[in-house]
Each structure stands twice: as structure tokens, then as C-alpha cells.
Chain A
Amino acid sequence: MGNHTVTSFDEELGAIDRLIRDMGDLAETMVDASIRALLDSDAALSQRTISDDAIMDARQRELDDRAITLIAKRQPMAQDLRAVVGAIRMAGDLERIGDLAKNIAKRVNAVGEAPTPRSLSHGIEAMSGLVLTQIRGVVDKYVSRQAGDLKALRAADEQIDIQYTAVFRELLTYMMEDPRNITACTHLLFCAKNLERIGDHVTNIAENAYYVMTGEQLPPNRPKLDETSMTAPA
């Protein structure tokens, strides 16, 4: 795409794009750190994740300010308009990912106090691997403007949902086996749920990014495979 006749318009759009990239990188860092803090009972790392969330919030506010000013000043059209509105929405999802990572980090102490065998958290570790791949993927594809790959990326959220259902069942089993596991497992269950929600935010970002790039919406019928609402303890 060519440059605008008014060069400062390009700079303003570029600044918004860079903020999305920064927020995406930060979201990935926060999720990764929160899970490592959880698995390793690393209080310092969890503290850093909690304070990173303030940076995330500040970035979102900066992006909002810039986007609103750009709309007021430039009255963007077509792909420029989609880019600005899309950025505002993607920033909202990235900020929520930050909140969820912070929530995982906050549970590190609570889980750590109780005796938590490492074996309880294998499922979560696997799940976080999938989630991190998704976050990295969506940011990369947005930055390199690969709209075609976003469809597959959105579909891959299904794997997270499957994994979440598995983790849910697994934790339920541990709790039934030994009631002393209940405190830790409940926290872990919330962490798993947070990861599943992060996956959903990544799908939203993928849908927005696709719209920004193509001007078209991805078809709405994404399969939903979270079956935990139908799972009752046997």
C-alpha cells in the first residue's frame, strides 16, 4: 500500500500499529511468565507479571488516545478506518489477556501454600503451550499481514478447548481422590479457565485482524468444544 500524501498520517497509523505489536509481545510475555511462576512457585516472577499489567493498561490508554485523535484529525476511510477501529478492538482483547495473566499470577501464592504435587499441573503446562503458540501466531500474522493464515489460527482454538475439558476432568479426579487437593486444584481450575478465555480473546483478535486486512468478516460458525458445562462428577 502506498504512502499518504500527508506523511504524518502514515506516522500516526504506524505508531498505532507498533502499539498493537508491543501489546501483543507483552501479552505473550505475561502469559508465559504467569504460567512459569505458577509451575515453579516463583513469587518474584508472579510479582513482575502483576506489575506488567499496569504497563499493558497504560499502552491501551495510549492507543485509545492516539486512535481517537487520528479519527478526529484525519477522518480515515476504507482500510485506514478498518485499521484504526480494528486496533482499538484488538487492544481491548490484549488488555483482557493481560488481566487474565495477572489473575493467574495472583494465584501463585495461594497454590504454593498448599502442598501441590507437580503432577497436578501437567495438563495446564500443555494447555499454556498451545495458548502461547496462538498469541505469538496472531501477533506475527497481524504484523506480517498474512490474512489467509488467520482462518487456520482461529480454528486451532478448538485444541485449547479440548485441552481445557481434559484438564477440568483431571483436576476433578484429583479432588475426588484426596480432598486436601481441593484448594490447589480449584485455583488451578481457575488458571485453566483463564487460559481458555485467553484463547477466546486470541480468536477475537484473529477475527479483527482478518477484517482489518481484507474488509471481510470470517464466517461466524466457529465450532465450540468446551464441554465442561455438561460434565458432572461421576
Chain B
Amino acid sequence: MLTDVAMEQKLAPTQDQHMIKIQGQEVCVHYGEKQALFSVNLDVRENQVTALIGPSGCGKSTFLRCLNRMNDTIDSARVSGTITLDGENIYDKAIDVVELRARVGMVFQKPNPFPKSIYENVAYGPRIHGLAKKKADLDEIVETSLKKAAIWNEVKDRLHEAGTGLSGGQQQRLCIARAIAVSPEVILMDEPCSALDPIATARVEELIDELRQNYTIVIVTHSMQQAARVSQRTAMFHLGYLVEEGDTDKMFTNPDDKRTQDYITGRFG
């Protein structure tokens, strides 16, 4: 039997109980002369999966890459507006970008393991960030990261074989383990399943759901079904503008904006 208080807590709406982890305000991005993102205001909530959807060239990946300053690596890219992580402006001069990218990890479209062993792929980050003092600590980080990425059982007997020798789906989970190894708070995923078969995709989706307990996740996906399945919040981009943002359940059954409706029902253009 639940007590009245427990019952109330159980019945209380879960919406808006999640803290805002990342806040984007008036975010604009230019690539040279061309403006790719126009005054985007978007909040990312803690321990939730936020999906960014929209047709190609809509700015969703550009926005994602702003969140850990990956756009800094593109010479012509200029970012304006404010993006805060736990209230701290990540574009502030005092921010150490390497440290930021450890806090905000990233997984890419194509699995890109280092041409090293499975063990080294995961151990590399913790080692350069000085997260492990002893070999035993490092071993433990590698093991827990691989376990969290749901790939431990498949690789535990071949940790010193090349990471590139794994299947595509395993490589992608290895990359997720590599991202987890440096204890990030946020994981950005840029179409993480687009190069995977349906079974590997299902594994990664299952993993995303588990990771949500401990991390905040932002995922860019072209698969509407995937966005509907894995995310709690969805943001729809079009031509560089944020068109609509809201609860995933509502976005995929009854969106407010005509452009969202047209896009998710396959009526675009």
C-alpha cells in the first residue's frame, strides 16, 4: 500500500520537475556570410532526452554543435547569443573548451573509434583528463563505461583487439562508452543510428533510455519514429529557425505548427 504522500508523489505531474541543464538564448550562427541559425531559444532539461528534428539544412546539427563548441573548429563559423550550462556561459573566455567537451560529450553519425584497442579507445579520455591515478582505477573506468554502454559482455574477452574490428553497432556503442568514460553530464548525439541496422539501432535506443537516468541527452535524428521513441522533448527546426518545441507525446500526435505537421507526416515541399 502506498501512503497518501507516496501516492501524491506518484500521481504528481512529472512535467517541469526537471531542472534546466542547458539554456540557449538568442543563439545565432553564421558560416561566413551565410546565417545558419536565427535567434534560437531552447532549453535542455536535465535527465531528459531532447530530440532535434527537421529537414536537412534546418540547423539542428549546427545547434547541437554549439552546445559543446564544436563549431569553434570551423574557421568561418561565428556564434552569437548565450548558451549556459548549469547557468554558466560556455562561450565565456574563462571556459576551458577541453574541459567543456569532457562535460558535454559527443557521439557522431558514423562510428569513429580510434585505430587502437577497445581498451585504449575507452581509456584514452580518462587518462588525458587525469581521472585515474592507478592502472586499477583505469581498468575499472573502462569496465564500467563499457558496461554502461551495454557492450561489456561482447568485448570483455577481447579488450586488446582493435576497436575498428567490431561491427558497426558495436563500434557505435564503443564510441558511447568512450564518451561516458570521462564522466560527462551531457551527451550530444548526431544521428547516432543512421549507419546502423535495425537491431543495432534498437540496442542503442535501449541504451539511450538507460543513460537518461544519469545523463542529459540531446539527439539529432532524421528518423521521426526514433525521435518519438527515445525522447521526452522534441524541438523542430526549419530553415535555421526553431519552429516548435514541446513534449514529444504531443509533438507527434497533435503538433501546433503547420510546418511541424507537414514535416512529421511526410507532406513537406
Contact = CB atoms under 8 A, between A and B. Distances in A.
Contact of A5 (B255, B261, B269): B269
B252 interface: yes
B205 to A, nearest CB: 15
A75 B225 CA distance: 8
B9 to A, nearest CB: 26
A86 to B, nearest CB: 12
A interface: dominant SS? loop
A9 to B, nearest CB: 7
A9 B255 contact: no
A65 to B, nearest CB: 22
Given A75-B225, A79-B261, A1 B267 contact: yes
Contact of A6 (B225, B228, B260, B266): B266
A80 B265 contact: yes
B266 A9 contact: yes
A82 B267 contact: no
Interface in A193-219: 214-216
A78 interface: yes
A78 B255 contact: yes
B interface: dominant SS? helix
Contact of B262 (A2, A75, A76, A82): A2
B3 interface: no
Nearest to A1: B267
B14 interface: no
Nearest to B264: A77
Which residue among A76, A77, A215 has the maximum number of chain B CB atoms within 10 Å of its CB?
A77
Which residue among B255, B262, B266 has the maximum number of chain A CB atoms within 10 Å of its CB?
B266
Contacts of B265: 4, 76-80
A3 interface: yes
Contact of B266 (A4, A214, A215, A216): A4
Contacts of B224: 75, 77
Contacts of B225: 75
A79 B256 CA distance: 11
A133 B260 CA distance: 38
Contact of B253 (A1, A3, A215): A215
A120 interface: no
Interface of A: 1-6, 9, 74-82, 214-216
Given A4-B265, A78-B253, 14 more contacts: A1-B261, A3-B267, A9-B266, A76-B265, A77-B228, A77-B252, A77-B253, A77-B264, A77-B265, A78-B254, A78-B255, A78-B264, A81-B252, A216-B254
Interface of B: 224-225, 228, 252-255, 260-262, 264-269
19 contacts: A1-B261, A1-B267, A4-B265, A5-B266, A5-B267, A5-B268, A77-B228, A77-B264, A78-B253, A78-B254, A78-B255, A78-B260, A78-B261, A79-B254, A82-B253, A82-B254, A215-B253, A215-B254, A216-B254
| 5 nearest A-B pairs in the assembled complex, by CB-CB distance | A215-B254, A77-B264, A2-B267, A80-B265, A4-B266
